[in-house]
Amino acid sequence: MLRFRVHDSDALCSATMPDAAYLVGADDIALPSTITFDDGVVECDKRSCDAAALVVGYDAGSAGQLTLQTCQLPERDEPYILALELARSRIRLFLAKLEDWMLYDLDKTHPAMVQFDEARDLFVRALTLGSGEQAEALARESLDVCIQAGEALALHHAELLLSRRLKSPLAPRTTLGCMVHPVQWSERLRSVVASHFDYLCMPIRWRDLEPEEGEYGWRLTDRWIEWAVRTARKPVMAGPILDFSKLAVPDWLYIWEHDYETLRELVTEHIRAVVTRYRRVIQVWNVASGINVNGNFSLTYEQMMDLTRVCLMLVKKLQPTARVMLDVTQPFAEHHATQVQSLPPMMYLEMVLEAGMPVDSFGVHLQVGQPVPGRSTRDLLRLSHVLDRFARLDHPVVVTACGAPSEMIEPGEAAPGEAGPTGCAGYWRAPWSETIQTDWLTKVMTLALSKPYVESVCWQELYDHPTSEMPAGGLISSVGIMKPALRRVGQIRACLQSGRLPSEAETVVLEEEEAQA
């Protein structure tokens, strides 16, 4: 059994401790385990004796309340000091990314290196003390500084790559998009889409299109797609067509939850209906999202792969010229800790490629700040690190849902259709606000667009509405007020079109203007 000592229990996201923490093994694959927190000790009961790392929501000081992980540790009788092991893991990750990104010759006076040296010195001092509250305090300070050093390193690397990409005439053009739920329709929303984004992402939720079996309602989706294609002259990315999350599945489909043959037939009919209707105007299909999570419908491994194959091949058959995409909703694979009959995302995508399924690109969600699976807050270095894993797939990547809220989401506020909170939402640097959302958007879009294999980034929602996946996660408030993040998207798009990054002076001016607004 792994045990960790915590002297300051306020540092832990203890209110949701059983759900917010889990163990990971090799390749950061989540392990089934039982985790408890009592009398200042975190106990992790796992089924094997192999080394494992603890992933937990933790208050890292000025860096924010983040989901962090320790190094992989063997079992021992004496509890580990949690803060010390979290700091050790961050130092290890920083050094690993220095090597991966070939930045080992980075000038020692660079802010990232200065902060890293400070963090390492603090860690050594904490390690010397061994245990006790003073050692934990020094370790937490080391952790805070090292996270900031890691973020500075990630942004430095991103700016180098993005500058090189924008200057290269051979590099593919980077684009920005936004998902627009079709329920609301106004001239103002259409104007925002036309002026701020390169393409429109139209969700195809089965629940919205076919609330009653056999009765499709196309009107709301039709008007947006028709406007985008005929009036705005913007491409449309549609989907996901198949999404088994509670938010997207119609109630009547649960009747066939345990009858796979009938379920497969209904899925086939639904995909055929959607693609046949829109194949003349849609060129990019997000075919399926989160099948590997397997959290709502219980499928076997063989059924998950079979359903993936059926969906991809059917879309390709109906529209051979279309680009088909497979979407990953939980890139950190938290679901595998509690849902044993699921597949970690990288394993799932590699199995798809090995089976020779016709997939042109992969989608990934980068959503933080919400107490639901897959959306706990992580720092910039960790987000950059998980994106780097997609490079080995040798396929283009689209960030299909990039998002963070503009206000704190209370633990009791789950996404529509979710059973309840299942994790520690956390926050980045400071509690979520419109200013923090804007800053997060800027940094994460810079990270994502700098990756050579990332084609585009799509924000998760244009405006806040009752059926939004993330409360307060839109760029326009529910009362129609544009948030500062929307203006920042327009500025980023203008810089991408002009082939340059905003200068430091421009960034300062923009931040001052947004603060005054």
Q: What's the pLDDT tens digit per position in 178-190? A: 999 999 899 999 9
- Give the global pTM: 0.93
Q: Quick one: 141 and 84 in the same domain?
A: yes
pLDDT in tens, 430-460: 999 999 999 999 999 999 999 999 999 999 9
SS3 content of the chain, % helix, strand, coil (to 5): 45, 20, 35
Confidence at residue 442, expressed as pLDDT on a 0 to 100 scale: 94
* pLDDT above 80: residue 512: no
- Write down the pLDDT at residue 17: 53
Least confident of 201-210, 371-380, 490-499: 490-499
Q: Are 28 and 337 in contact (CB under 8 A)?
A: no
pLDDT at 508 over 50: no
Does the pLDDT value for residue 509 go beyond 70? Answer: no
* Domain endpoint, select from 163, 193, 212: 163
pLDDT > 70 in the chain, percent: 92
Name the band, by pLDDT with cuts 50, 70 and 90, for residue 487: very high
DSSP secondary structure string for all residues of 223-289: HHHHIIIIIS---EEE--SEE-STTTS-GGGGGGTT-HHHHHHHHHHHHHHHHHHHTTT--EEEEEE
Q: Is 221 exposed, middle or buried (0-12, 13-18, 19+ CB in 10 A)?
A: buried
Q: Identify whether residues 124 and 208 lie together within a single domain.
A: no
Q: Could you tell me what percent of the chain has a pLDDT over 90?
A: 72
- Of 163, 180, 198, the one marking the end of a domain is 163
Residue 366 has pLDDT above 60, yes or no: yes
Q: Are 345 and 27 in contact (CB under 8 A)?
A: no
pLDDT at site 411: 66
Q: Can you give the pLDDT at residue 510?
A: 53
Contact 43, 3 (CB under 8 A): yes
Say if residue 396 is preceded by a cis peptide, omega within 30 of 0.
no
- Please give the pLDDT value at position 421: 38
pLDDT at 278 over 70: yes
Q: Could you tell me the pLDDT band of residue 171, with boundaries at 50, 70 and 90?
A: low
Half-sphere exposure of residue 487: CA atoms within 13 angstroms, side-chain side: 14
Range(s) of the domain holding residue 307: 172-516
Question: What does the pLDDT read at residue 505?
Answer: 45
Residues 151 and 189 in one domain: no
DSSP-assigned states of every residue in 305-361: HHHHHHHHHHHHHH-TTSEEEEEES-TT-THHHH-SSS--HHHHHHHHHHTT----E
Q: Does one domain contain both 133 and 220?
A: no
Q: What is the mean pLDDT of residues 384-411?
A: 93
Q: H or E stretch including 151?
A: helix 133-167
Burial of 350 (0-12, 13-18, 19+ CB in 10 A): middle
**Residue 38 — very low, low, confident or very high, per pLDDT cuts 50/70/90?**
confident
Q: In this predicted structure, which of 37-51, 177-191, 458-472, 494-508 has the lowest mean pLDDT?
A: 494-508
CA distance 490 to 118: 37
Q: How far apart are CA 241 and CA 267, in angstroms?
A: 9
CATH number at residue 328: 3.20.20.80
Kind and range of the H or E element at 74? none
6-31 residue pLDDT tens: 988 888 875 455 567 899 988 888 88
Instruction: Judge whether 425 and 404 are in contact, CB under 8 Å.
Output: no
Both 150 and 186 in a single domain? no
> What residue has token string 């050094």?
95
Asked if 231 and 281 count as a contact pair (C-beta separation under 8 A), the reply is: no
CA distance 283 to 288: 15
Mark whether 39 and 179 lie in a shared domain: no
Angle at 321 between CA 320 and CA 323, to 5 degrees: 100
How many domains is the chain built from?
A: 2
C-alpha dihedral, 386 to 155 to 112 to 134, nearest 10°: -50
pLDDT of residue 19: 61
Same domain, 236 and 149: no
Round the average pLDDT of the chain to a whole number and report it: 90
Report the C-alpha gap between 230 and 247 in whole angstroms: 30
Mean pLDDT within 326-349: 90
Q: Is the pLDDT assigned to residue 396 strictly greater than 60?
A: yes
The encoded tokens of residue 294 equal 């397997």
Nearest to 340 by CA among 375, 300, 373: 300
Q: Give 68's pLDDT tier (boundaries 50, 70, 90).
A: very high
What are the pLDDT digits (tens) for 352-361?
999 999 999 9
Q: How far is Cα 99 from Cα 213, in angstroms, rounded to an integer?
A: 55
Q: 3-class SS at 470?
A: coil
pLDDT of 507 above 60: no
Tell how far CA 91 is from the center of its chain: 23
Q: Tell me: do 294 and 381 sit in the same domain.
A: yes
Residue 511 and residue 380 share a domain: yes
Task: Give yes or no: residues 158 and 177 share one domain.
Answer: no
- In Å, the largest CA–CA distance within the chain is 69
Q: Does residue 335 register a pLDDT over 60?
A: yes
Q: What does the pLDDT average to over 283-300? A: 91
Whether residues 194 and 158 fall in one domain: no
Q: Do 229 and 129 belong to one domain? A: no
pLDDT band, residue 145 (cuts 50/70/90) = very high
pLDDT score of 419: 40
pLDDT tens profile 77-134? 899 999 999 999 999 999 999 999 999 889 999 999 999 999 999 999 999 987 888 9
pLDDT in tens, 312-325: 999 999 999 999 99
Give the DSSP per-residue string, 165-224.
HHH-TTSPPPEEEEE--TT---HHHHHHHHHH-SEEEE---HHHH-SBTTB---HHHHHH
